[in-house]
Amino acid sequence: MSHQQNFLSPSIPQIVLFKHMLMGAGIGLVLISIFLLMAPGPNPEWPEYWFIRPLITVPYGGAMAGLFYYLIDHLRKQGGWKMITANILSLLILLIGLWMGTVLGLAGTMWH
């Protein structure tokens, strides 16, 4: 008998990937929500639903950082300087992703 390969099973553990991306998106959503709630009233020249764009772009940037965190997880498991480098790089990518999401989301409104 020959061994059949099951093509229905995913090649990557999607639950772990989903958790990392959800954590990154959650961090972004919390940060931009706090920022928007603390901001003064909107300018009357802005569109009525101006706040929707940052609420989408910032969590998206965080989710992409979570994807990056998952993709370099093999370095983290090796320990030593590779683990430290992977953690620092993951934090840097998270900060860049959140910053870019904030700039893209607030462009034309609160970001001048």
* CA dihedral over 51, 52, 54, 55, signed as positive or negative: positive
Q: What is the pLDDT of residue 9?
A: 58
Q: What is the pLDDT of residue 93?
A: 95
Kind and range of the H or E run holding 47: none
Which tens digit of pLDDT belongs to each residue from 36-91? 999 888 888 888 888 899 999 999 999 999 999 999 988 888 889 999 999 999 99
Q: What is the pLDDT of residue 42?
A: 81
pTM greater than 0.85 (yes/no):
no
Q: And the tokens for 112?
A: 């001048």
Q: What is the pLDDT of residue 41?
A: 80
pLDDT surpassing 70 at residue 98: yes
* CA dihedral over 57, 58, 61, 67, signed as positive or negative: negative
Amino acid at 45: E
Mean pLDDT of 19-42: 93
Q: What is the pLDDT of residue 58?
A: 96
- Residue ranges covered by each domain of the chain: 14-36+50-106
pLDDT band at 27, cuts 50/70/90?
A: very high
Q: What is the pLDDT of residue 45?
A: 84
Query: How is 75-102 classified by DSSP, letter by letter?
Result: HHTT-HHHHHHHHHHHHHHHHHHHHHHH
